[in-house]
Structure 1
Amino acid sequence: MKTSAWVLYRAGADGLALDAPGRLRLEEISLPELGEEDVLAEPLCGSWEANMTHALERSPVDIVAARGEDRIVLGNSGLLRVLRTGPAVTGLREGDVCFLASCGKADRRGYVEQVHAYDSPGTMGMLAKRTVVPARVLAPLPPGTRHDLRRWAACARYWTAWSNWRLAYGTWRLEALEDEVPYVLGWGGGVSLAQCELARLKDGARAAMAASSPGRLALLESKGIHAIDRSAFRDLQYDEERFHTDTTYREAYRAAEQRFLSIVDQFTQGQGASIVIDNIGTPVHRASLKALARGGVLTTCGWKHGMTMKYYRAIACIKRQQYIHTHAANPREVDSIVAFQERHGWLPEVGTVTPWEHIGELSTAYATGKVDGYFPVFEVNAA
């Protein structure tokens, strides 16, 4: 069977220079044979994720080459409709609409080691009109859901947020006073937004998040999250080498950092942030540490700009500060997460949906920061 798909080639195999960013090509591909535990499905709508942009940027690695393949089909978040099942598949039938749970390979506890349709070899994702996936990566949509399918399509980051918040909040609660309410500060995109919202809904936290566009600032406020205007400290982009060699840069950075810390101090009533969600990385890591309260938790489930962090262990020990790192969500968590989402409406806000034929343009817009909202959704087949 053949189908249409947006494919990404291994570096150099697409005619571009080895160090050039990749690009998606719309081509016809052959689907693999349906195995006993596989499902033939048609993707309905998917969400453009940061790991897809990492793949196109070939950063931190050329993911296609790392998989040992010449080209791959990305897309690890979205909804699919079951068309046919292998003879050993149970619990799924033709017509079922399912989430792509994206766990390509897991450890013995069920936590994700490789992501389906990203770094897991031999897997296909949402960027195809038809796809063959293992039945184990599908989770049925709640029957009779009251929520729009497009909102459900962008839920992968919400599941990641749930798993990270569960561990970060649980860690903080171990040392907090019984009646203490946490101050939560978020850096980043959709996952941080989901986590700040969850902190309020589930655990009564006071949450704040930094953003720069008027639309995003308004969205935060509408969800009861204190919006911090990033434009008040635009120079908060830490670069250690420049900090030590460029006087002008150092002075501008220090001024921006002081403005940021003053805002945090005002928001937390001088206590500092109980939990800092930092999914940005190096540019804001120094400021995040300074904003963190005694007994506070710095938590992350990804990175956007810079993976290498530096901190002073002695200070962290004296302040009893903890560092939490998680990746994706455990499939065992999914039923609880989805039930909470259906009940509380803890779902992404989705704007304009990108048509199938314009997905290549969406990939460029996301990489250059020209996408409105936190959750860009694309359509593959009509729901």
Structure 2
Amino acid sequence: MENVQAWVLPAGPQDRSGGPVRGELTLTRIPIASPGDHEVLVESLVGCWEANMEHALARSPVDIVRQRGEDRIVLGTCGVVRVLRTGAAVRGLREGQECLWIPFGQVDRHGYAETICAYDAPGSPGLLAERMVVPADRLVPLPADGRHPVERWAPFARYFTAWDNWRVTSRCWRSQVDDAWDEQPLVLGWGGGVVFAELELARREGFRTAMVSGRDSRLKEIAASGAIAVDRREFPDLDYLRAKESTDPDAMDRYRASEARFLEIVGELSGGHGVSVFLDNLGGGLHRATMKSLAREGVVSTVGWKTGMRLWNLRATECISRHIHVHTHAWRLQDAPRIRDVMQETGWLPDIADGPVTPFARVPELAETYRRDDFDTYFPLFSGAGRG
């Protein structure tokens, strides 16, 4: 048993009648055991801040620490680790090897994650610890040629998730539409790094792609990637729920004006047909506009719920329009090596090797910047304790 440095999140107060109390990370030392026969001791190298880490700090939709029945947990679900020591029965891994850590707790019979380590999997570790012990079958070695630096691999979970979601989404769309297209179907997305990664896969399949953002730096990045950049500021009041709940008598009129402008832009991009595939990882007050913009035989796909977990649809309209709704989460465990190989061979990784990496000692600053949505990048990175 040894003690290692870690940023921990304590459980929130039991009384939530006044609403959730945001959590704060505390730097301390925690005990870790030696690896068992089928386990590996690893150290964190580079991690990527994920939306579930913000959900945990905000204690929304739940206090995940209390849900796990623990006093404190260590966050950090996505990144690269280095093997320090292997258990007696471990084969195929060696000391010093750099690996992707697959943060799956319980998986179902098809290999899909039911719980996620460093989030809702009880007793699980996270990358905000200096070192941790993990099952050997949750490690995927990086290619030995070093073609891509570890910083580009650190956001791999967004890309693995994008690969899996697009695999399902594309098949659903093709199930109703012949492959002999008379024009390029439009794939439109709003969200973050997962959508950004997914649009590249859509372009490779021949779709026309577009992504929405209200920030100049991200619009520039979207355009540079080959997608059409759609400026969110052209329809600033496109939040139906906010308008509906507002006491301002003009709020709904402003919403309708923004909705009309958004649908006008969609019409221009799609030749009047609408969005063939809408990658909507936001939801909430934007969902109404998403559904209004969707083409017949269109697919709306989500792998996230950043601004709203509950959605409302008119079933008759969705049936008549032959809309398919896709909901996925993470990827299959057995697909991880295959997705890694696709990324390695095609260069389908974020171009962030020279971007800033937040030092381990300043992780709370990164968390606050993420909360305020002040990052220009879709992939905010932090270094492991051993790298500063």
Report the TM range for the smaller structure's normalisation: over 0.9
Measure how far apart 1:147 and its partner are.
1.1
Greater shift, 348-357 or 64-73, is seen at 348-357
- Aligned equivalents of 1:316, 1:368: Cα separation in 2: 35
Deviation string, structure 1 residues 164-195 (Cα, Å, up to 9, x no partner): 01001100001112222431000101111111
Structure-to-structure mapping, 1:213-232, within 5 angstroms: 213-232=215-234
What is the one-letter code of the residue matched to 1:194? Answer: A
Amino acid of the residue matched to residue 281 of structure 1? G
- Correspondence for 1:177: 178
Match of 2:202 in 1: 199
How many percent identity over aligned positions? 47
Following superposition, the deviation at residue 138 of structure 1 comes to 0.9
Alignment equivalent of 1:346, drawn from 345, 348, 367: 348
Unmatched tracts of structure 1, length 5 or more: none
Q: Show CA shifts across 1:194-223 (max 9, x none).
A: 11112112x121100001111100000101
For 1:67, the equivalent position in structure 2 comes to 68
Residue 264 of structure 2 aligns to a residue whose secondary structure is: helix
Partner of 2:264: 262
The secondary structure found in structure 2 opposite 1:113 is coil
Give the structure 1 partner of residue 28 of structure 2: 27
Deviations 1:62-91 (A, max 9, x none): 111111111111111000000001112121
Structure 2: distance between partners of 1:144 and 1:236: 47
Which moves more between the two structures, 231-240 or 46-55?
231-240
Q: C-alpha root-mean-square deviation of aligned residues, in Å?
A: 1.6
- How far off its partner does 1:118 sit? 1.0
The answer to whether 1:95 aligns with 2:93 is no
**1:246 Cα deviation after fit:** 5.0
For each residue in 1:326-367, what CA deviation from the matched residue of structure 2 results, as whole angstroms up to 9, or x when unmatched?
000111221221111112211123221101111111011101
Partner of 1:114: 115
For residues 214-293 of structure 1, what are the structure 2 equivalents within 5 Å? 214-239=216-241, 242=244, 246-293=248-295
Deviates more, 1:23-32 or 1:243-252: 243-252
Task: State the distance in 1 between where 2:241 and 2:248 align.
Answer: 10
Pairs within 5 Å for 1:135-150:
135-150=136-151
Matched, 1:376 2:371: no
Asked if 2 retains the 8 angstrom alpha-carbon contact of 1:73 and 1:124, the reply is: yes
* Alpha carbons of structure 1 residues 18 and 3: separation in structure 2 relative to 1, 3 Å: farther
Distance 1:355 1:245, change over 3 A: closer
TM-score with structure 2 length normalisation? 0.95
Amino acid at match of 1:363: A
Q: CA deviation at 1:241?
A: 7.4
Alpha-carbon separation, structure 2, partners of 1:135 and 1:285: 41
Runs of 4+ in 1 over 4 A off after TM superposition: 243-246
Corresponding residue for 1:311? 313
Q: Does 1:327 align with 2:329?
A: yes
Structure 2: runs of 5 or more not aligned: none
Q: Give 1:39's aligned residue.
A: 40
Q: Report the number of matched residues.
A: 379
Paired with 2:20 and 2:379, the residues of 1 have a C-alpha distance of 28
The separation in 2 between residues aligned to 1:247 and 1:167, in whole angstroms, is 42
Does structure 1 conserve the Cα–Cα contact (< 8 Å) formed by 2:118 and 2:125? yes
> Does the aligned pair in 1 maintain the 2:20–2:60 contact within 8 Å?
no
Are the counterparts in 2 of residues 104 and 137 from structure 1 also a CA contact under 8 Å?
no
User: Which residue of 1 is the match for residue 157 of structure 2?
Assistant: 156
AA of the residue aligned to 2:207: A
Please, which moves more after superposition, 363-372 or 344-353?
344-353
